[in-house]
Amino acid sequence: MDAHAYDALVIGAGISGMQAALDLAEKGYQVLVVERQASIGGTMAKLDKTFPTNDCAICITAPKMVELARHPNITLLTSAQVERVAGSVGHFEVTIWRQTTYVDPEKCTGCGDCARACPVEVADTFNGRLSRRKAIYLQFPQAVPAVYTIDYAQCTGCGACDRACGPGAISFLRRSQPLTVTVGSIVVATGFEVLEPTELRREYGYGRFANVLTALQYERLMAASGPTDGHVTRPSDGQAPRSIAWIQCVGSRSTQGGHPYCSKICCMYATKEALITREHAPDTATTIFYMDLRAYGKDFQQYYRRAADHGVRYVRSRPASVSENADQSLMLEYEDTLTGKVASETFDLLVLSTAVVPPPENRRLAQALGIAVDEHGFFVARDALRAPLHATREGIFLAGGAQGPNDIPDCVAQASGAAGLAAIPLSQRQRTAEPVPPAERDVAAEAPRTGVFVCSCGKNIGGFVDVEAVTASARALPEVAFAEACTFACSEDAQRKIRGAIEANGLNRVVVAACSPITHGPVFQQTCAEVGLNAGLFEMANIRNQCSWVHSSEPGPATTKAADLVRMAVARASYVKSLPVQTIEVTPGCLVIGGGAAGMTAAITLAEMGIEVVLVERETVLGGKLNLLGKLAPNDLPASTFREHLVHEVQRRPQIKVFTGTEVGEVSGHVGNFQVTLDGGLGEAITQVQVGTIIVATGFREVDLRGRYGYGDDPRIITQLELERHLRDGTLGKPRSVVMINCAGSLDAANPSCCRIGCSVAVKNARLVHQAAPGTQVFLLYQDLRVYGKGQEEAFTQMLAEVAPQRIRYDAERPPQVSLEHGRIMVTVYDTLLRDELEVEADLVVLTAALRGDGETPRLKQMLKVGANAQDFYHEAHAKIRPLDFTTEGIYLCGGDHYPRSIPDTLAQAAGAASRAAIPLLRGRVKVEPIVAEVEAARCSGCGLCVPHCPYGAMRLDPERGVLVIEEVLCKGCGTCVAACPSGALQQRGFADAQVLAMIETAWEGALV
């Protein structure tokens, strides 16, 4: 292949870009990733925790970063940007500008000697300028690539770094260069920035008052690796603040401010920041000033309630002004709109939840790519409803923050979706086959002959640890046949020497004492593999991160410890075995359960990738909810038109086999090979199909409100779904007054969740009712108006202008009452803003009913061995970074069965699920984790203590033989089951008891501290 020919280009390597790149690369396509910054990771790498699970952000980002950097099908260019794109889909010619960083990434070991030598200190932008760094720097400790960068704008050219650099990685002669490549398709994932409100809202004092921060700066203050090691302190005096206020919608939802849209993520991150602040320092008073509290996502409302229960105070207000007190605390003037009280209150620290804005870079990039941006600078979709991920130029796709505010799971879903769509133009291309591993030496029968290589990492280890002494002590160990010191073990030169030593000395185990196995293990494993040693026969002693770097002032004990760590590694090496890499063949084809918008889109996307699909729909017609709806936001397209379009697209593709009026009967097997029974109903045929993967797209339903709000007592009291039917069929009539009650059956004790889409549906339907019956007075009863998605805030504003509804905000504690009096429908409600009870006569009451997952979920989840919550919504594998996967490998989900969502979001998820489900199918084989659990049947007594410990359903008891059976393809290699086994019959390859104990037992063997 031409060195400059790639299959796909991904621009931006935050969470969206990384996901898109990995999804494409996993399918076997060659991906070029271009990132403007020196490290990949994007905004997510800067966050402390993520809502609503409080997952540590870097902990879940870093493994993806490492995976991306190591992926054989991914080429990563950092400090680079796209200059020009010529050609067309399938044959784009892309010019990329590679900014020099003056550091050779091949030679840099990430040791940091250069930064210590550098005399220039500048504000650290990664930390929101709350700390300082050097002009040569690593963006953050987990940066990928772990290569230092010179900030040329700040560099004085003194050369101190060059002199300090052991491996000689720095050269000021390195030039920035253009690079031209060809690609077939492009994913744009340039992310977002947050508004720094200096010019915009001077009244909040940002930039003027020391103790006013943006929420992103506050994230850095909270982060353990941030400027204050995770201790929240005031910038002015370093003291812990006793009170902190957050102001929401700073710059957002404001036409004057230039950002009329809702930034979507701020209510939740402010809630998270306040909640975690109180968890760390329970005496800190935290107050959030909000307009509407938009806790619209899965488990968001519960998270918000939890924060409120933990003492986070919520004040419904947009503060008028901020002034600074003498002690640099901040005085806020505000009116609480729920009590009507005007107050002024002092806070030690003020955090501004500022608008999510597009990177200024977008406009230039849009020109280079020949695609459109909106008036704000976000990239726009070709069709906001039907093609939310297609940019306006064929072959270019959008994901994540690049096209508007999005939370992480939506970014990931869109990224997978964009990757799925970007794979379509590539479907005729040759995909990269799995690399054939080099032939391996069989060493099972040999006694251990271990080679030890002790790295001094320039001065990083050698400066504090006596490397020669460590090498000598290793040489004295009986199993060690060869020991040698080296300067930079990871250098190409040293690797060659290691390979030579293995061959010359017949070594069958290799221990490298250097840095961390997490970052460098695979490098050395590759080296060993090249001379026939299996990866399992390699072991690493981390004498840099765990020794020289953390015991710099104690060279004696550091050397002793290094010798101990080497002895432990050698002891372990004596017990290690080859780890066979196993793969299993994948049955081609994907089963899609559910023929609504999500299922049909997933099926079409898969078919376009060239994959056979079995699409199963329980009803007799395809379409799902589209059969029930009137017109769709944002452009009032009739749902029937959209349905017909999708059905046509499904039916014209021979790869899609449709089974309507059919239910899934039984499912057995595992990823790569599922056997599924399709039941056509009474008297109909039962069909057996075999597929490699499964997508679940079974949608949602309204809860049954009978007995509440008078529902069921009068045909004039209906739900939104029933209203949609009236609007579709033109049977609305001419009601004089329509009362819409939002959150009917939601946000209460029985069902605390927010249905996510109810407010948007109400906003859309209020307008459609107004159009169908002009002159109708619409009353909109709501708790918080949670319109959140792209264009929805604007649609809301437009509706207010057109319909002029009477808006009444009620409280969950005093829900509206609907009563029938002599044939009249009366709605009484306490308006929390007017602080008065109102009575309204309604000709039509429309209930925005709570939503729950499909009624079949309890049955399906058992069959598929997946989980679901009390509302019958399925549990995704990870709320943030795996929104489309189940924990059971090979099964994916999309659409309303995950949680209710808008149609564009549903389509994005559907394309994403198709992308995920296509990976094993396009690869043709699935890899089995090499470090799986294994059972010695003769020792297993079949007690079953281990079985419930497996989160992946990989183990079961064989009732015939009374022993455990492991489905290796499902095992992820955590070893939790192994620790539950009392007899030792269960072991983990690579982490067997004997291997771990060898280290434990030699750790302090005769050692002195």
Which one, 437 or 982, has the nearer CB to another protein?
Answer: 982
Among 517, 624, 853, 912, binds another protein (CB under 8 A): 517
Minimum CB–partner distance for residue 527 and another protein (Å): 20
Quick note: the x/- pattern for another protein over 815-854, rule CB under 8 A, is: ----------------------------------------
Question: Applying CB under 8 A, which part among 480-488, 749-757, 769-777, 979-987 lies near another protein?
Answer: 979-987
End-to-end CA distance of the chain: 56
Minimum CB–partner distance for residue 929 and another protein (Å): 10
Which one, 749 or 1008, has the nearer CB to another protein?
Answer: 1008
Q: Is 162 left (phi over 0), alpha (psi -120 to 50) or beta?
A: alpha
Among 53, 302, 677, 798, binds another protein (CB under 8 A): 53
Which one, 54 or 797, has the nearer CB to another protein?
Answer: 54
Beta strands in 692-789 (DSSP E): 693-696, 700-702, 717-719, 737-744, 777-782
Binding residues for another protein restricted to 129-188, rule: CB under 8 A: 141-142
Total residues at interface with another protein (CB under 8 A): 79
Quick note: the x/- pattern for another protein over 564-603, rule CB under 8 A, is: xx--x-----------------------------------
Which one, 60 or 966, has the nearer CB to another protein?
Answer: 60
Q: Are 401 and 356 in contact (CB under 8 A)?
A: yes
Residue written as token pair 């020497």: 497
Cα four-point dihedral sign 634, 636, 638, 641 = negative
Question: Applying CB under 8 A, which part among 376-384, 517-525, 635-643, 671-679 lies near another protein?
Answer: 517-525
Among 308, 472, 581, 957, binds another protein (CB under 8 A): 957
Minimum CB–partner distance for residue 309 and another protein (Å): 18
Largest CA distance in the chain: 101
Residue written as token pair 């509206």: 816
How many whole angstroms separate alpha carbon 525 and alpha carbon 226?
33
Cα four-point dihedral sign 440, 444, 450, 453 = positive
- Interaction of residue 1009 with another protein, rule CB under 8 A: yes
Quick note: the x/- pattern for another protein over 437-476, rule CB under 8 A, is: ----------------------------------------
| Paired tokens of 128 | 């929101």
- Interaction of residue 941 with another protein, rule CB under 8 A: yes
Residue written as token pair 């994932």: 189
Closest CA relative to residue 898, chosen from 469, 425, 410? 410
To 5 degrees, how large is the angle CA 579–CA 582–CA 585?
A: 175
Which one, 649 or 993, has the nearer CB to another protein?
Answer: 993
Among 752, 951, 953, 965, binds another protein (CB under 8 A): 951
How many whole angstroms separate alpha carbon 33 and alpha carbon 56?
25
Give DSSP secondary structure letters for 114-156.
HHHH---EEE-TTTTTSSEEESEE-SSTT-SS---EE-TTT--
Binding residues for another protein restricted to 9-48, rule: CB under 8 A: none
Which one, 352 or 470, has the nearer CB to another protein?
Answer: 470
- Interaction of residue 788 with another protein, rule CB under 8 A: no
Binding residues for another protein restricted to 618-677, rule: CB under 8 A: none
Among 38, 60, 477, 603, binds another protein (CB under 8 A): 60
Which one, 628 or 1000, has the nearer CB to another protein?
Answer: 1000
Q: Is 822 left (phi over 0), alpha (psi -120 to 50) or beta?
A: left
Among 560, 783, 906, 915, binds another protein (CB under 8 A): 560
- Interaction of residue 550 with another protein, rule CB under 8 A: yes
How would you classify the pairing of strands 132-134 and 121-123?
Answer: antiparallel
Binding residues for another protein restricted to 209-248, rule: CB under 8 A: 223-225, 229-230
Minimum CB–partner distance for residue 900 and another protein (Å): 24
Question: Applying CB under 8 A, which part among 559-567, 588-596, 755-763, 782-790 lies near another protein?
Answer: 559-567
Which one, 46 or 631, has the nearer CB to another protein?
Answer: 46
Q: Tell the burial category of 858 from Cβ atoms under 10 Å away from its Cβ (0-12, 13-18, 19+).
A: exposed
The amino acid sitting at 215 is A
Radius of gyration for the alpha carbons in the chain, expressed in angstroms and rounded: 30
Binding residues for another protein restricted to 910-939, rule: CB under 8 A: 931, 938-939
Residue written as token pair 């002790």: 454
How many whole angstroms separate alpha carbon 978 and alpha carbon 934?
9
The helix-helix angle for 57-70 and 15-26 (nearest 10°) equals 40
Minimum CB–partner distance for residue 193 and another protein (Å): 22
Among 949, 953, 965, 967, binds another protein (CB under 8 A): 949
How many whole angstroms separate alpha carbon 400 and alpha carbon 408?
8
Q: Name residues whose C-beta falls within 8 Å of residue 939's C-beta, 6 or more positions apart in sequence.
A: 983, 984, 985
Question: Applying CB under 8 A, which part among 351-359, 558-566, 623-631, 659-667 lies near another protein?
Answer: 558-566
Q: Are 679 and 574 in contact (CB under 8 A)?
A: no
Q: Name residues whose C-beta falls within 8 Å of residue 517's C-beta, 6 or more positions apart in sequence.
A: 540, 542
Q: Report CA dihedral (949, 953, 954, 958) to the nearest 10 degrees.
A: 90
Quick note: the x/- pattern for another protein over 316-355, rule CB under 8 A, is: ----------------------------------------
How many whole angstroms separate alpha carbon 244 and alpha carbon 345?
11
Question: Applying CB under 8 A, which part among 249-257, 560-568, 740-748, 784-792 lies near another protein?
Answer: 560-568
Among 11, 18, 58, 739, binds another protein (CB under 8 A): 58
- Interaction of residue 1000 with another protein, rule CB under 8 A: yes
Binding residues for another protein restricted to 83-112, rule: CB under 8 A: 112
Binding residues for another protein restricted to 856-915, rule: CB under 8 A: 887
Among 308, 387, 838, 943, binds another protein (CB under 8 A): 943
Residues linked to residue 214 through DSSP beta bridges, in sequence order: 352
Among 561, 643, 770, 861, binds another protein (CB under 8 A): 561
Minimum CB–partner distance for residue 276 and another protein (Å): 12
Using DSSP, state whether 573 is helix, strand or coil: helix
CB-based burial, 456-492: b 16+ in 10 Å, e otherwise: bbbebbbbbbbbeebbebbeebebbbbbbbbbbbbbe
Using DSSP, state whether 107 is helix, strand or coil: coil
Which one, 920 or 990, has the nearer CB to another protein?
Answer: 990
CB atoms within 10 A of CB 444: 8
Minimum CB–partner distance for residue 653 and another protein (Å): 37
**For residue 358, cis peptide bond before it (omega within 30 degrees of 0):** no
Minimum CB–partner distance for residue 465 and another protein (Å): 11
Among 95, 432, 545, 655, binds another protein (CB under 8 A): 545
Quick note: the x/- pattern for another protein over 242-281, rule CB under 8 A, is: ----------------------------------------
Minimum CB–partner distance for residue 561 and another protein (Å): 5
Which one, 826 or 943, has the nearer CB to another protein?
Answer: 943
- Interaction of residue 983 with another protein, rule CB under 8 A: yes
How many whole angstroms separate alpha carbon 811 and alpha carbon 825?
21
Which one, 834 or 979, has the nearer CB to another protein?
Answer: 979
Residue written as token pair 């006694």: 447
